[in-house]
């Protein structure tokens, strides 16, 4: 199975358990790995028959408009479900990185979902 990856897509979403943490958008990095057989698209050198990673990135950028989440676990699960439903990969792994602890480079959660 082939994979299409979007690595460290920068977004600014309202996320955090306390209300004051959710009051302003925080920088997050999203990684999305989509399992998808793009053999036919590659042979034809055509975007038809593959996943448009630009469209995925644009959709994820718009996801935070007017929204907030307490947990990055919830956000990662929602993104995985959205990608499966709208872009139809065979499987997807989503990682959300957050930067709340000064002594750590980041904290992250990762979720994997399969179609079907």
Q: Is 3 marked active-site?
A: no
Active-site hit among 3, 85, 97, 98: 98
- Going from the C-alpha of 36 to that of each of 1, 16, 31, 42, 49, the distances in angstroms are 6, 33, 16, 12, 10
Catalytic residues: 98
């Amino acid at each position: 199975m082939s994979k299409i990856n979007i690595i460290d897509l920068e977004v600014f979403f309202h996320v955090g358990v306390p209300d004051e943490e959710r009051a302003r958008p925080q920088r997050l990095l999203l990684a999305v790995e989509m399992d998808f057989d793009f053999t036919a698209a590659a042979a034809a050198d055509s975007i038809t028959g593959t996943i448009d990673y630009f469209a995925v990135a644009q959709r994820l950028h718009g996801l935070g408009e007017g929204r907030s989440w307490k947990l990055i676990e919830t956000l990662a699960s929602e993104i995985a479900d959205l990608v499966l439903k709208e872009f139809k990969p065979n499987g997807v792994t989503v990682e959300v990185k957050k930067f709340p602890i000064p002594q750590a480079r980041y904290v992250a959660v990762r979720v994997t979902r399969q179609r079907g």
